[in-house]
């Protein structure tokens, strides 16, 4: 019998770090129920159509496709966001950027920019927490901009806009009190690109040159032209790139340069403040 309990107990996902969780998320989606339902009604049998859909989803996960892409959604901060294969899947570590931005500026009217917005996760989380802030999210991929806009519309947030731009290219003359970005920062020859869920994510959202710092260099070089006096730049980067990013910030004239650690204890973001001469 194809009961909830038997399906979960026999879900073969040997390459997943969280096989039970993956199976529960997929099955709950098929049933249109929360995960708690699976534990409350383990003896429930699936209908033939539900079983077929679950097995198809399980096969995609067995092939390595991320659960977020299979379900078409991913939780970030307090939000549930639509995701798609042309955008990076929002990750818990990136919430550190949101926490830091919220702590740096008061809740009074401020202008912020999210570079490489993808799903819109960072900009939407900040817009949700600070209604008085005005946020702009940019991405060079038109499909990503459209996706972020769908997320904005579904969340009914009116204090954020999304536009197509290659970093600062469409923002001539615009200045912000804070610029935040989770840019590509993986080296082109990094072996992790051929492993796990990352294989299915767009390389353009991951890879940034031989050392992974090409986009970060560009952002740091150009950001001062788009910062108000005393404005902040916040960047997510690789676990071993903090020293290099701090040096780049200092060399460009940023002050109050520091790095902050993620939940795993790695220096995950670096920031600095720019005062115009």
Q: Residues 6 or more apart from 99 whose CB is under 8 A from it?
A: none
Is residue 185 pLDDT above 80, yes or no? no
Q: Which of 195, 209, 238, 204 lies closest to 88 in space, CA to CA?
A: 204
**How far is it, in rounded angstroms, from Cα 215 to Cα 208?**
6
Buried b or exposed e, range 166-177, using 16+ CB within 10 angstroms: ebbeebeeeebb
- CB atoms < 10 A from the CB of 1, how many? 8
Give the sign of the dihedral formed by CA 49, CA 53, CA 54, CA 56.
positive
With cut-offs at 50, 70 and 90, classify the pLDDT of residue 199.
low
Partner residues linked to 161 by β-bridges: 136
| Percent of residues, the chain, with pLDDT higher than 70 | 90
- Decide which of 86 and 156 is more confident: 156
Is residue 208 pLDDT above 90, yes or no? no
Look at residue 81 in the predicted model and tell me its pLDDT.
96
Is residue 251 pLDDT above 90, yes or no? yes
Look at residue 184 in the predicted model and tell me its pLDDT.
73
Q: Which of 190, 162, 173, 252 lies closest to 216 in space, CA to CA?
A: 252
Domain boundaries, the chain: 4-64, 78-274
> Which CATH superfamily groups domain 78-274?
Vaccinia Virus protein VP39 (3.40.50.150)
- Average pLDDT (59-72) is 90
The Cβ-side half-sphere exposure at 76, using a 13 Å CA radius, reads 29
pTM score: 0.88
Class of domain 4-64: mainly alpha
- Average pLDDT (218-225) is 96
> Both tokens of residue 51?
């079983």
| Percent of residues, the chain, with pLDDT higher than 90 | 68
Look at residue 201 in the predicted model and tell me its pLDDT.
54
Q: Crossing angle for the helix pair 19-31 and 48-62, nearest 10 degrees?
A: 150
Specify whether the CB–CB gap between 190 and 239 falls below 8 A. no
Look at residue 104 in the predicted model and tell me its pLDDT.
96
Look at residue 37 in the predicted model and tell me its pLDDT.
93
Whether 78-274 and 4-64 are alike in CATH topology: the answer is: no
Q: Mean of the per-residue pLDDT values for the chain?
A: 90
């Amino acid at each position: 019998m194809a009961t909830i309990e038997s399906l979960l107990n026999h879900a073969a996902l040997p390459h997943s770090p969280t096989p039970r969780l993956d199976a529960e998320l997929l099955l709950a989606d098929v049933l249109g129920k929360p995960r708690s339902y699976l534990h409350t009604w383990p003896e429930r049998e699936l209908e033939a159509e539900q079983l077929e859909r679950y097995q198809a989803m399980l096969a995609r996960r067995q092939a390595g496709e991320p659960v977020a892409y299979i379900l078409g959604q991913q939780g970030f901060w307090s939000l549930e966001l639509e995701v798609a294969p042309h955008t990076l899947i929002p990750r818990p570590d990136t919430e550190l950027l949101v926490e830091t931005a919220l702590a740096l500026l008061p809740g009074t009217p401020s202008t912020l920019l999210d570079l490489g917005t993808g799903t819109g996760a960072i900009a939407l989380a900040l817009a949700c927490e600070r209604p008085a802030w005005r946020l702009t999210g940019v991405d060079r991929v038109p499909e990503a901009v459209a996706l972020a806009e769908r997320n904005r519309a579904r969340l009914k947030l009116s204090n954020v806009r999304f536009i197509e731009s290659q970093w600062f290219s469409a923002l001539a003359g615009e200045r912000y009190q804070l610029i935040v970005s989770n840019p590509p920062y993986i080296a082109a020859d990094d072996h992790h690109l051929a492993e796990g869920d990352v294989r299915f994510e767009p390389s353009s959202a991951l890879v940034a040159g031989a050392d992974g710092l090409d986009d970060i260099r560009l952002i740091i070089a150009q950001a001062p032209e788009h910062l108000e006096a005393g404005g902040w730049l916040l960047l997510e980067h690789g676990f071993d790139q903090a020293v290099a990013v701090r040096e780049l910030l200092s060399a460009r004239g940023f002050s109050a340069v520091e790095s902050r650690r993620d939940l795993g204890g790695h220096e995950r973001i670096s920031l600095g403040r720019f005062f115009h001469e």
